[in-house]
């Protein structure tokens, strides 16, 4: 029997709808109908997205009476945070370098304008 690959946190975060669901239920646990109405989607569509989040371990579903409440398991987002954190310094350095490059271009353009004015052009 073939093994079914378990979904991971990165697959869950890749979809904008799932990211919105995480944002909503991170504030307060919500039932599926509340999530659906806030995102202006059908309840079956939300159920499908929540199922993926649940398979990834990001959202827990708790049944209380007839309601199924979605709760975020923040610790499940740690692998994504740690992975992104590794690249934060690298991207900060690249952005700083790009900013310095833009400033140097700006200085060159200003000095050309000043020379142009001095030459009477």
Sequence ranges of the domains in the chain: 9-72, 77-118
Whether pLDDT at 28 is above 70: yes
The domain made up of 9-72 is a member of CATH 1.10.10.10: yes
Whether pLDDT at 10 is above 90: no
Taking alpha carbons only, the member of 37, 12, 25, 20 closest to residue 69 is: 25
Taking a C-beta distance cutoff of 8 angstroms, is the pair 112, 119 a contact? no
pTM metric for this prediction: 0.67
- Residue of 117 and 99 predicted with greater confidence: 99
- pLDDT tens sequence across 37-66: 999 999 999 999 999 999 988 999 998 888
End-to-end CA distance of the chain: 80
| Least reliable range by pLDDT among 26-30, 81-85, 107-111, 113-117 | 113-117
């Amino acid at each position: 029997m073939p093994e079914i690959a378990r979904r991971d946190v990165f697959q869950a975060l890749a979809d904008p709808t799932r990211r919105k669901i995480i944002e909503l239920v991170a504030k307060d646990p919500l039932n599926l109908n509340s999530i659906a109405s806030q995102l202006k989607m059908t309840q079956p569509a939300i159920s499908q997205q929540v199922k993926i989040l649940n398979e990834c371990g990001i959202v827990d579903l708790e049944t209380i009476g007839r309601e199924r409440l979605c709760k975020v398991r923040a610790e499940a987002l740690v692998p994504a945070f740690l992975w992104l954190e590794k690249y934060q310094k690298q991207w900060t350095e690249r952005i700083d370098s790009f900013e310095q490059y833009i400033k140097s271009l700006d200085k060159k353009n200003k000095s050309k304008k000043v020379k142009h004015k001095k030459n009477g052009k």
